[in-house]
Amino acid sequence: MNDTTEIDTIMQAYQGDVPGASVLVIRDGKAVVRKGYGMANLEDHQMAMPATNYRLASISKQFTATAILLLAEDGRLDLDQRVRQWLPSLPAATDAITIRQLLTHTGGLIDYEDVMPESLATQLRDVDVLHLLEAQDRLYFAPGSHYRYSNGGYAMLALIVEKASGLRFEEFLKQRIFEPLGMRDTLAYVNGGPAVSHRAYGYSENASGWTRTDQSLTSAVLGDGGIYSSIDDLARWDAALYSDRLLSRQSRELAFHPWTVTDDADVRYGFGWRITGESLWHSGESIGFRNVFVRYPQRRLSVIILSNRNDPEPYRLALAIARHFLDGT
């Protein structure tokens, strides 16, 4: 069975007139599988393609972390600075939290989604997350003592990028990451800003079929999950992670270092990356989207699945695809 046939079988549930997926396998710097399945837009019958842009959700965190590392390389900030040096309106309880602890989810910040007002009718932005946290003069634990995944922590990192660079977060990403790497269709999406080209819309399945569920009240928060990209652009990102083209070797080693144990004893967390054995990976889940990016840098193998549906979570599918290639090495 050839590579494409094997992956077609793994991705069978995404084929046809249903919300789809785009799949990329990179081996030794070459795309050995690059394919779309199903639909990016059910209403307009637009097929999912390699150029289709999906909301990355938490895969965005590796770009937020990279923005912080670039500013550290510039000498604009230090990873061990207190977060309140940049965001002094945060309450006194957060005084000991460092930028490094936000990167590794060890700051102890209260989950902003748990303190959103029930009356909220408009989408939150990163600065709105700050305002919610300003009212929470408490933490889950002493900074640095435990791990708890924190979307709010990455929203704070986006605001620090803005303070340290003098640019809007989406503009910093464009100027310092996306444009230099040729990721021309990738952007942190802001309502009223540039449109998402070749856009996939998110869907959820219910008893009557598929319903468009593309945006939620938290979908406009950029630092934790607001980037749209395609497998074609992520191939350029993947290539840059093997060289000093964007980040220095030292910065890449910081990002990929297993700093802390997560909720899963087999998984560590770096800066925007999970580490399991020899793999670096991150999933991304938001209303209507499920994505995963898995890298095996020593094997020069990467598997990316971007999908515009609420289920299933594609990590296991990516591992099955990876095994097809790893078993032959």
- Catalytic site includes residue 58: yes
Selecting among 22, 58, 229, 251, the annotated active-site residue is 58
Distance CA 323, CA 329 (A): 10
Instruction: For residue 101, give the H/E element and its range.
Output: helix 99-103
Written as six digits, the tokens of 297 are 């840098």
**Encoded amino acid at 233, one letter:** D
Torsion-angle region of residue 85: left (phi > 0), alpha (psi -120 to 50) or beta? alpha
How many CB atoms lie under 10 A from the CB of residue 242? Answer: 12
Angle between helices 3-10 and 315-326 (to 10 degrees): 160
Residue labelled with tokens 């699945």: 305
Pick from 7, 50, 19: nearest CA to 290: 19
Distance CA 58, CA 315 (A): 13
Distance CA 218, CA 55 (A): 13
How many CB atoms lie under 10 A from the CB of residue 204? Answer: 15
Give the side-chain half-sphere CA count within 13 A for 264: 9
Distance CA 97, CA 80 (A): 9
DSSP annotation of 133? H
Distance CA 166, CA 200 (A): 31
Catalytic residues: 58
